[in-house]
Structure 1
């Protein structure tokens, strides 16, 4: 019984992200106005990581289960020895190169799949940089945000723990004015919701099957074709501030959604090796 509580199976999406062809990681870069004290980061994480099951569990040998483990925070917080004199004024270039090299190094699967890199390097936007790398199978962006927010304190009021605003739950049948005795209406709602769930599931499965067999991506001016295997090509990461007005201009000219524009530009840049990156 204790072993069952310590081990939990991976969700279907987590298994997809763990597959060899995908093996997707989330890389988050955060800038700070002051230099970072690594000891404080380690101390705060010791009190918060255990509250987040995925960040305190490692992958099983068979790759199918999460195994609860004791996290040694020092193994996950990396403070590289940086020669500031060699970097000079090119802090942005150093951070870009560091992140690019980091993406080529796989996470150690013998421990929880995340790490934090502290770079006390001055850039054009910050005095210090933190690079957080976590495997996508640990969860989505909200899981990472929860850990970050829980590990944050105000210097003016250290006892205050910030929280993420909870989403309001949808109204239940009782909030719609249905009485508990009105079992017939509740039965109708239950049947309708069940049928809608079955229908959506069937449609999704058919779309997945059709995509595997013959459906292709929509042809757009941002759709890039390449016969090269871009998965093994070294990429360099650049930090850019994008104007929303420019994005809206592209959206209007190409009759696309903003998400499609951003996805297209990102995919176009990541589909080429370093020496063929397009210039926008």
Structure 2
């Protein structure tokens, strides 16, 4: 990253040397999978605290050639967010893959299907008016709450928010957990939600249970999560070549906004009796916020803040 004559930061084209980016750690050989599980967790924790070298492109690839309880080996990618958002980086990763049936054909995925009215009838005028009014009011409410939450109102102090300054520089410990995709599919079918809804709800539930276990009563404290939402108006896989075109429908880069999502409280769902209800409650909150233009207004607001106060604002 360099600064031009106008003071604008731009990427500088450099030569990439793979040996500077691909790392293959060496552990003790002939040990148990439990031993390598611990080695992997320790390696992830150490890697998370290390800053990417500023003298080279901001990405790394770590190849773990040892069997763990969940895989014969692991590949870990570490990217700086300035390179692009999750959509861009996953597109770059998928662009490296080839089809097993015919490598000469481009990689494809099922297209996103939009939900339509089954009987083909249009909504009544009255219902359309109600929807527009609800959309406008929810948009104003979500945008104002996002601005207030990010600058004025603070969450309660809990095991996941100490309120102390400089916590981002403290050592971290990373642990991994594996979920069965079949079990996630079962929950998805039972609740009639998406895979993302199930995963997000499970993360929220696990967070609340950790909070309650660590500090009794904190499972019902006021806590907010920041959920990143893709602001591109179209879904689906695009290759790197397609995203880099001048007028690309899905351009490369960072195109996301933050959703301030209040984490459902344990008492709201009596999660010990019905954890599925907790997941469903989380889904309803996210669905409501996604159904407004608040996220797009928040994205524009952040762009204005960056423009007038700089990227570190």
TM-score for the superposition, normalised by structure 2: 0.44
